[in-house]
Structure 1
Amino acid sequence: MTINEMKNEQFPAVSTDEWKEAAEKSLKGKSLDSLTRYTYENIKLKPLYSAEDEVDCEISQFPGFPDYRRGIYPLGYYENDWHVAQTIKYKKIDELKASLLSALEKGQTSISFEVNADTIGCLKEIIGTIYDKYPFSVNAKLFQFDFIETLLDLAGDPGETITGFTGMDPIAIFAEQGSLPIKLSELYDEWAEVIKKADQYMPHLKTILVDATPYHNGGANAVQELAAGLSVAVFHIQELLDRELPLEKILSKIVFKFSIGANFFMEIAKIRAARILWNKITEAYEAQPENRKMIIAAETSKVTKTAYDPYVNLLRSGNEAFAAVLGGIQYLHVSPYNEPENNFTSFSDRIARNTQLILKEEAHLNKTVDPAGGSWYIEHLTNELAKKSWELFLQIDDLGGIFEVMKTGWLQKQISEIREKRQMDVNTRKQSIIGTNIYANLNDKPLQLTEAPANISESDKKEMVESIPQIRLSEPFEKLRRRSEQLADKLGRKLAVGLICLGELKQHKARADFITGFIAPGGIEGIQSGEITEKEQAFSFIRETGFQHYCLCGSNEQYAEIGMDFVREIKKLFPSIKLFLAGLPNAGEEKDWLSSGIDEFIHVKSNCYKVVSALLEEMEAKMHEE
């Protein structure tokens, strides 16, 4: 074949039916439906998506035009790059200015830091030389009024060069903390006046925030995040319209803030679906197309971060940042790997900032226009999310709106159901958290966790609802690790379970490794016996080690060969030990194994958290007895 002939060669067209036939052959008798699964959003995921899935799916062809799923700018990041908006944390106020200036010199493109009473008192000193040189990306929360007043003093008349956003979301404060220091109606009265004044003197500064992060950090799924966020936006609009702010002015001042989780494609679709729904809502208000564009500030998820094996957080944040950029955002904060400590370092800050710079400067994503557009999978997810989120949004509206469903606890209950599902999946290791519930390193030193200070004191709480717990999914296992470490310190030795390894290495290795990995998330070591081919070898191993717990590890053939009589002999000689069996016996054999002396089976469907927690409780109880 010549080069020219090779250039004209084409791959044969393959139909979907032909692909299905080939795929089912590779599954060795299983149906293709066995690859189908459902997400936390109750969206059915198929093994293949194609042009056939475009049925009932309207896909706008050009970015920068309604329905804005493909972005709000015709040339995407090429024309309007996203802002590196790393939120600067600090121990002392005098560190903040130096850290902020250093970040801006090293790639940060937005003024972003945590605001509290101390920063408000020193705000002029902190931003006095930079306030009009970089856009703001600040969630000022209840300090927004003072923040705006300080900016007005700095800006003069008018502050045309002050850009970005410095906003708050009263409903998000309710969701996160369960209270406000004044009545909500009074807060909106004051807020409306501040928004008007800020617009008069700083017309390019956005001052209204719709913060959906408390719902995400409470364990909500993407549908709940979108529906809650959009309901909050409508609540803001109605409250501010009632206070005589013009609709177009309100819309021009709104910024949405989303957390980006670990489900890569779902998170891309979430951002795209958010723009579709915002376009739909603002169109219903008869807003002009320019005011139907959604400005999005994103941050990587707090839910996914871990205290143990913390450097894995670098990879998690990188994955989440990548999804955010592909989805199309305007501001991005990438959490440093030690975020659970609530105390960043110059090193962790630099690595987090450089994650964004790699996406920009090395991956050249700042030269792209909707890179995810046209993927049948992502387009399908986008439409499914938009559809389901719209249905939930309407349901919230029928129940009286976002504030009403929070007062009654309805929204909190909906989110708690998903949170419990997520946590159960982690506890049973259906959902892996590397370094925490799987591949745990027993020699790992965890981050030193600290609680973030509350913004509202008990005496200041004037209006209250049930707050949404802000979680990290790794926390239950981290508590187990701390318990085991404290117990090990008291005992003066590592906690361990003895593994009675039956037969040759190839016969017991798989299950011995499984048990070792299964108990490691609780800080418990698996001590292997070596090859056990005679009963006396097992008895000697138990005498020499003197552990409280042992587990038989071997193949099904080994279990059948050695049999239940062996278990009875072990329990007769060592009646005080607890004996596990690695693996789940065949149906009908479980009762026989239990009656012979096996206390529990440990297998892939076991609840890891429950089993390991019980082990620690028994070890603690024995220590107290001694």
Structure 2
Amino acid sequence: MKNKLFEDFQPTNKEEWIAQAIKDLKGKSFDEMLVSQSLEGIQIAPFYTQEDLLDQPSLAGFHHKVNPKPLISGIAPRVWSNATRIESKSEKEGNAIILNALQNGSDAIILILNGEENLSILLKDVQPAYIQIFLEPTSSPTKVLANFKSWLRQENHDYEQVYGGVLWDGFIKRLTEDLDKEEVIQISRKLLDFGYDLPNFKTITIDFSHYHNAGANAVQELTFGFSALIDLIDDLSVDQQMVFDKLILKTAVGSDYFMEIAKVKVIRILTQRLAALFQVNQKAEDIFIFSSTSYWTKSGVDIQTNMLRNTTEAMSAILGGCNALEVLRHDCVNNDVTEFSLRMARNISNILKEESYLDQVLDPFAGSYFLEKLTFSIFEKVKDKMVSTESSGGWWNSVNQNLIQEEVKKTRIERQKMVLVGKQVKVGVNKYLDSSSKTAQIEISINEESASQLKTSRESFLVETQKSSVI
């Protein structure tokens, strides 16, 4: 370049920028006016420079390590699967939904199974070698996996060409069904055994998303998920390399755009660091993160706005580094499944890939001063909180004392009250209300929750309950 224009400008450090901001504020406090604080207690500055990263370790070792390099020439560098949840009353109806989804943009399916299904009908014409299949058991997960393997044998599918996993977390079952620890460990061990001859099919899941959808903030979500993983590894008494090889980390991604991007990044970093503590060599790009958009953020008042929430949440998940993405139906607060809502959910991932080209850049936020600082801040807070949880006896002991349940419920109520009084703006709920919103048609259900349980809820629940009582 002949004309080096930047030589005409003197370099400016952060202190000088802050001094200029204070001058423009005309004596008002810089911190009070421009520095905010997240729900997790993290200070968010109005701008960041390279100086902000001098007091923390470099995260360069995790840059561009979000998925393995595609083996097929011509495939875009950023790869994630577009997962569709299959909800049907019969195998034949389910098969039609599956084929329609796979022919219109999905390349992964989530099957809700009890182990009694005739998979020859449900999965007719489905080729596992070209998609990912995730099993979500409603009863015995070992029975569901055994039935799936039986179908694979009957159809002569190559076990090495089966991709996906079992989305079942026994620790979360303890929070909803009061499952015994020994039973959880026994089932998890059987799932590892059953999945041994399926090298690309994962059978252990740590479900962070449940804490998120129950109202936890990002630090609580990651702390309790990783604390459960530590308890699981300690009690399984199996080859720890196998556990990490077979591991799915399932998270839900909310509407706090940058915070959620950083959260997904922290999952990858902490998983590798945790693996190293167990003397397991785990490549960052081989860690499998399954993300879904948030049920917690979905509104039952102005349902159409949920499509916008789904879009930004899906972007956060992709930019954070998820490997599989489930976009929830925008009308998931209702029980009725419609073709329109399924298509809209499926198309969000497709549009972000095919029209927004998010698959063309492997890790666009790598090196961002703000994201690097935010990621490290979350990492440090989660690490400190995990130490505190371990000092209390670990995940299971904390749950038996209702410590985790009480903490998340307290955060949940605080967040729901913020929406109720308008302190937290939620479009279509407490701001820019749609007068034509059909609130009366939304089912307001209150799940009974004992002190030892932790169930999912939604951010706008108190507002919806209030509106429902008025109607």
- TM (norm. structure 1) is 0.69
Q: Aligned match of 2:135 in 134, 138, 142?
A: 138
**1:476 alignment partner in structure 2:** 462
Deviation at 1:449, TM superposition (A): 3.8
Q: Aligned match of 1:112 in 110, 113, 120?
A: 110
> Deviations 1:57-109 (Å, cap 9, x if unpaired)?
222435xxxxx365344659944510001212235543211111100000101
- In structure 1, what residue type is equivalent to 2:133? F
Deviation at 1:419, TM superposition (A): 1.5
Of the structure 1 ranges 227-236 and 132-141, higher mean CA displacement relative to structure 2 is found in: 132-141
**1:21 alignment partner in structure 2:** 19
**1:373 alignment partner in structure 2:** 366
**1:166 alignment partner in structure 2:** 166
- Structure 1 residues 140 and 70, CA gap change in structure 2 (3 angstroms): farther
Matched ranges for 1:55-94 at <5 A: 55-62=54-61, 68=62, 70-73=64-67, 78-79=76-77, 81-94=79-92
- In structure 2, what residue type is equivalent to 1:475? F
* Secondary structure of residue in 1 paired with 2:128: coil
**Structure 1: how far apart are the matches of 2:302 and 2:398?**
39
Q: Aligned match of 2:201 in 192, 202, 205?
A: 205
**Structure 2: how far apart are the matches of 1:414 and 1:123?**
42
- Structure 1 residues 9 and 383, CA gap change in structure 2 (3 angstroms): closer
**Structure 2: how far apart are the matches of 1:291 and 1:357?**
25
> Deviations 1:326-368 (Å, cap 9, x if unpaired)?
0001000111210110332111111111111111111111111
**1:50 alignment partner in structure 2:** 49
Give runs of ≥4 in structure 1 deviating > 4 Å.
Answer: 3-12, 74-77, 450-454
Higher relative contact order (CA 8 A, sep 6+): 2
Q: Aligned match of 2:294 in 265, 290, 301?
A: 301
Q: CA RMSD, aligned part only?
A: 2.7
Deviation at 1:193, TM superposition (A): 2.6
- In structure 2, what residue type is equivalent to 1:51? Q
**Structure 2: how far apart are the matches of 1:374 and 1:289?**
22
Of the structure 1 ranges 287-296 and 144-153, higher mean CA displacement relative to structure 2 is found in: 287-296
Deviation at 1:178, TM superposition (A): 3.8
2:444/2:464 contact within 8 Å kept: no
1:75/1:369 contact within 8 Å kept: no
- TM (norm. structure 2) is 0.90
1:267 maps onto 2:243 in alignment: no
**Structure 2: how far apart are the matches of 1:11 and 1:99?**
60
- In structure 1, what residue type is equivalent to 2:96? A
Of the structure 1 ranges 138-147 and 256-265, higher mean CA displacement relative to structure 2 is found in: 138-147
- Structure 1 residues 415 and 43, CA gap change in structure 2 (3 angstroms): same
**Contiguous gaps of at least 5 residues in structure 2:** none
Q: Which has the larger radius of gyration?
A: 1
Q: Aligned match of 2:230 in 234, 238, 259?
A: 234
1:307/1:447 contact within 8 Å kept: no
**Structure 2: how far apart are the matches of 1:351 and 1:195?**
36
Q: Aligned match of 1:312 in 286, 290, 305?
A: 305
Deviation at 1:122, TM superposition (A): 2.7
1:232/1:402 contact within 8 Å kept: yes
Deviation at 1:141, TM superposition (A): 5.2
- In structure 2, what residue type is equivalent to 1:185? E
Q: Aligned match of 1:466 in 418, 443, 452?
A: 452
- In structure 2, what residue type is equivalent to 1:170? G
**2:245 alignment partner in structure 1:** 252
- In structure 2, what residue type is equivalent to 1:324? A
1:240/1:250 contact within 8 Å kept: no
* Secondary structure of residue in 1 paired with 2:206: strand
Deviation at 1:184, TM superposition (A): 3.0
- Structure 1 residues 102 and 19, CA gap change in structure 2 (3 angstroms): same
- In structure 1, what residue type is equivalent to 2:181? L
> Deviations 1:531-576 (Å, cap 9, x if unpaired)?
xxxxxxxxxxxxxxxxxxxxxxxxxxxxxxxxxxxxxxxxxxxxxx
**2:375 alignment partner in structure 1:** 382
Deviation at 1:171, TM superposition (A): 0.6
* Secondary structure of residue in 1 paired with 2:325: strand
Deviation at 1:185, TM superposition (A): 0.8
**Structure 1: how far apart are the matches of 2:290 and 2:296?**
18
Deviation at 1:434, TM superposition (A): 0.9
**Structure 2: how far apart are the matches of 1:352 and 1:447?**
24
- Structure 1 residues 239 and 207, CA gap change in structure 2 (3 angstroms): same
**Structure 2: how far apart are the matches of 1:89 and 1:40?**
34
1:141/1:173 contact within 8 Å kept: no
2:417/2:462 contact within 8 Å kept: no
**Structure 2: how far apart are the matches of 1:363 and 1:340?**
28
**Structure 2: how far apart are the matches of 1:367 and 1:112?**
26
- In structure 2, what residue type is equivalent to 1:261? G
**Contiguous gaps of at least 5 residues in structure 1:** 63-67, 459-463, 486-626
1:222 maps onto 2:208 in alignment: no
**Structure 2: how far apart are the matches of 1:188 and 1:6?**
64
* Secondary structure of residue in 2 paired with 1:86: strand
**Structure 2: how far apart are the matches of 1:238 and 1:129?**
41
> Deviations 1:4-58 (Å, cap 9, x if unpaired)?
6597885553333332233224334312112112111111111221111112222
Deviation at 1:228, TM superposition (A): 0.9
1:300/1:335 contact within 8 Å kept: yes
Deviation at 1:417, TM superposition (A): 2.3
- In structure 1, what residue type is equivalent to 2:170? P
- Aligned-residue sequence identity (percent) comes to 28
**1:121 alignment partner in structure 2:** 117
* Secondary structure of residue in 2 paired with 1:304: coil
